[in-house]
Amino acid sequence: MVSTFIDDDIVLASKTIAFWNASASAQASCLHRLVLTDNLQDASLHSVHNFSWSVSHCLCSVGYHLPTQVQSIPVIDTNTVIAGLEHQASLSWNNLSSNPRTAPTKNAKLCTWHNCFRPFNTSNPYFLLPVSGKRMKRFLRFRLSCHSLPIETGRHHRPPIPRSSRLCPHCPLASVGDEYHLVFECPIFQPLRDKYHTLFSARTSSMRSFFAQKEHDCLQIHFRLFRHDKHLELII
Ligand SMILES: [Zn+2]
């Protein structure tokens, strides 16, 4: 299953290719076709970094190569390009650690997203839920490690604080102050866990499964847990 961001890439690629192919198939007198033909020749003959150059460059990155010498606009095989995008996305998950806390520094944030927030499916995208932009922004920031938990602020400290030393300042556990600690460990939030105890079970004991609960979409879980807590409001 591909991730949500590769879905976005596929939508963008599909629309771009649809425009490209429509222009390629248009009548010879069509303005779009004339402009794109000229644009493509500039890119292929004179290496001008224009729209056609960008399309060609992106296609090359997924193993799809346009002819270098063109007299007319080549039609692009959409399915082949999308298959290339999906394959490229699948490579991103190879060799990632299963534990964000012990993952190598390189790709640590990607590891966090993969292990904690990557959706199991994309049939009901959380980012399309009918909530205010402010709420959605805060939720997206949390999912993307764009928050003020110690695991993130320590990264921006100069010099950076080692990840194992980015501890939660709100409890005596001396645990890394990351997303997992916030949701499952930190005793300061135990009253919230008790209040919403049905959300916490053996079945939802990982971040990824917790935020993928079907009976309550992950966004609602997030705000049911945290909306009344002023302390949490300050740090995410
Ligand atoms: Zn804590």
Summarised one tens digit per residue, pLDDT across range 104-123 is 888 888 899 888 888 777 66
Dist. CA 107 → ligand 1 center (Å): 25
Q: What is the pLDDT of residue 4?
A: 47
Q: What is the pLDDT of residue 233?
A: 52
Segments in the chain below pLDDT 50: 1-5, 234-236
Dist. CA 208 → ligand 1 center (Å): 20
Dist. CA 192 → ligand 1 center (Å): 14
Dist. CA 145 → ligand 1 center (Å): 17
Dist. CA 164 → ligand 1 center (Å): 14
Dist. CA 150 → ligand 1 center (Å): 10
Q: What is the pLDDT of residue 232?
A: 56
Cα separation, 57 vs 63, whole angstroms: 10
Instruction: Tell me which H or E stretch contains 63.
Output: none
Dist. CA 157 → ligand 1 center (Å): 20
Burial-class residue 117 by CB neighbours within 10 Å (0-12, 13-18, 19+). buried
Dist. CA 26 → ligand 1 center (Å): 62
Q: What is the pLDDT of residue 1?
A: 37
Q: Say if residues 169 and 176 touch (Cβ distance below 8 Å).
A: no
The CA-to-CA distance between both ends of the chain, in Å, stands at 29
Q: What is the pLDDT of residue 2?
A: 39
Summarised one tens digit per residue, pLDDT across range 200-234 is 889 889 998 888 776 555 566 666 656 555 555 54
Q: Say if residues 14 and 86 touch (Cβ distance below 8 Å).
A: no
Query: Is the overall model pTM greater than 0.75, yes or no?
Result: no
Dist. CA 17 → ligand 1 center (Å): 49
